[in-house]
Amino acid sequence: MFAKSTWIKLPRNVLVGHGVLDDVGTAVAELSLGGTPLLVTSPTPDDLAGDRLRAQFDGAETVTVDTASFAAVGEIVEAAEAAGATFLVALGGGKPIDLAKMAADELGVGFVSVPTAASHDGIVSGRSSIPEGDTRHSVAADPPLAVIADTEIMANAPWALTTAGCADIISNYTAVKDWRLARRLKNVEYSEYAAALSEMTAEMLVDNADSIKRGLEESSWVVSKALVSSGVAMSIAGSSRPASGAEHLFSHQLDRIAESPALHGHQVGVGSIMTEFLHSGAQGQWRSIRNALEAIDAPTTAADLGIDDETVIEALTTAHTIRDRYTILGDGVNEEAAVEVATFTGVI
Ligand SMILES: NC(=O)C1=CN([C@@H]2O[C@H](COP(=O)(O)OP(=O)(O)OC[C@H]3O[C@@H](n4cnc5c(N)ncnc54)[C@H](OP(=O)(O)O)[C@@H]3O)[C@@H](O)[C@H]2O)C=CC1
Ligand SMILES: O=C(CO)COP(=O)(O)O
Ligand SMILES: [Zn+2]
């Protein structure tokens, strides 16, 4: 008997472009959600665009969050219940968007993502990443009902956030390699459609590297579209597998152990150089990954990340313990091998 089934949850309305912030109300009305939303934002995005958003939602209350935490999710849930909000609209970087995503899940309502920075594909995906103590929980939730990415606002965000978003996409190359490996060795569930979309997204971003330049609004256009595409790949897969492999484990581990972690996308980019080396060896594709990162101005070394060599080695040798996700790290890379890969690739 044929017993397979799949349920793909995708955003229904995606708007990317100059000035689309003023179309949030229209895009939301088109979803027929009814009622009034709670707006969730953080201080800088609120200053930059809060009033323009509020002008589109009569009577909507705003919650402004300072830091990402489970307590902040609880506060959003309480505020939404008190206000009788029927859905959430998140305005900002990954912090308010992830918090609203989790709160919406807890409330059983939809949410709309209005990113002000193209810093990673969480602005589109159905995954929330919330720090707690010295760890970080990656939690499954529903993806946004709509994504409205205003390239004018994103282009004025700190340049490092944009290059971090690019590096998060470039890391899809190694994430997909890890996924295929896990399918071969551990028979994990795999989708060729999701894998192909994820790889193609990375390919297109690298092919368009010339348009990714500080001060150029087109950079935000190229990156936003790639982030949407990567988010869709995760939705098709029903997991973050197409966009998160060993390089993400490495970054998650740095978040835990580094005194001052760098941006998510920057860490996964550097991780990707090393995990590509582990996949394909000295003559493999690791130089292409490094060159692609260099071309878009993203870090390629521990020093660029502002993290010391010892911490990078510790993260690489312990990253496999982060979660039950089989990757090229297998049951662990020993210290000697880690030093060799990091040295050979110029990361340390
Ligand atoms: N779901 C996922 O897959 C992932 C989720 N994450 C989560 O996302 C968060 C990190 O994402 P990130 O976007 O870097 O975080 P933030 O939302 O904290 O944004 C980074 C910084 O940029 C500021 N900012 C945002 N937009 C603008 C703008 N247009 N102009 C000027 N400044 C701006 C923010 O201001 P302010 O301080 O006022 O907010 C903040 O200081 C973490 O909470 C992390 O856990 C990270 C990786 C993956
Ligand atoms: O960052 C992500 C994809 O780019 C999400 O991955 P995680 O599932 O590892 O949190
Ligand atoms: Zn990522």
Would you give per-residue pLDDT tens digits along the chain (348 residues)? 888 899 999 999 999 999 999 999 999 999 999 999 999 999 999 999 999 999 999 999 999 999 999 999 999 999 999 999 999 999 999 999 999 999 999 999 999 999 999 999 999 999 998 888 777 778 889 999 999 999 999 999 999 999 999 999 999 999 999 999 999 999 999 999 999 999 999 999 999 998 999 999 999 999 999 999 999 999 999 999 999 999 999 999 999 999 999 999 999 999 999 999 999 999 999 999 999 999 999 999 999 999 999 999 999 999 999 989 999 999 999 999 999 999 999 999
Residue 135 backbone dihedrals phi, psi, to 5 degrees? -125, -175
pLDDT for res 130: 86
pLDDT for res 1: 84
Atom of ligand 1 nearest to the CA of 123: 1
Classify strands 87-92 and 110-115 as parallel, antiparallel or unpaired. parallel
From ligand 2's centre to the CA of 244, what distance in Å?
A: 5
Nearest to 156 by CA among 109, 85, 204, 214: 214
Written as six digits, the tokens of 147 are 């994504």
Atom of ligand 1 nearest to the CA of 115: 26
Kindly list the protein residues that place their beta carbon closer than 5 angstroms to ligand 3, a single-atom ion.
Answer: 120, 168
Q: Which residues pair with 132 in a beta bridge?
A: 135
Burial 220-237 (b: 16+ CB within 10 A, else e): bbbbbbbbbbbbbbbbbb
Name which residue sits closest to atom 9 of ligand 2, judged by CA.
Answer: 244
pLDDT for res 135: 75
pLDDT for res 266: 98
Nearest to 120 by CA among 86, 100, 102, 97: 97
Written as six digits, the tokens of 44 are 């800088």
From ligand 2's centre to the CA of 125, what distance in Å?
A: 9
d(CA 205, CA 167): 10
Tell me if ipTM is over 0.90: yes
Atom of ligand 2 nearest to the CA of 129: 10
d(CA 97, CA 112): 9
Q: Which residues pair with 113 in a beta bridge?
A: 90, 147
Handedness of CA 67, 250, 292, 224 (dihedral sign): negative
Nearest to 134 by CA among 259, 269, 262, 244: 259
Under 8 Å CB-to-CB from 119, ≥6 apart: which residues? Answer: 93, 94, 157, 161, 162, 164, 165, 168, 263, 264, 265
Contacts 24+ apart (CB under 8 A), 307-314: 307/254, 307/258, 307/260, 307/261, 307/262, 309/342, 309/348, 311/254, 311/257, 311/258, 311/259, 312/254, 312/270, 312/342, 312/347, 312/348, 313/338, 313/339, 313/342, 313/348, 314/253, 314/257
Written as six digits, the tokens of 202 are 């990375």
Written as six digits, the tokens of 242 are 């197409």
pLDDT for res 138: 82
50 in contact with ligand 1, CB cutoff 6 A = no
Residue 301 backbone dihedrals phi, psi, to 5 degrees? -135, 165
Under 8 Å CB-to-CB from 61, ≥6 apart: which residues? Answer: 38, 39, 79, 83, 85
pLDDT for res 136: 75
45 in contact with ligand 1, CB cutoff 6 A = yes
**What is the DSSP secondary structure assignment for residue 33, as one 8-state letter?**
-
Nearest to 148 by CA among 169, 124, 122: 124
Nearest to 245 by CA among 335, 181, 154: 181
Nearest to 90 by CA among 80, 75, 77, 100: 100
pLDDT for res 131: 82
From ligand 1's centre to the CA of 5, what distance in Å?
A: 35
3-state class of 166 per DSSP? Answer: helix
Classify strands 87-92 and 61-64 as parallel, antiparallel or unpaired. unpaired
pLDDT for res 133: 77
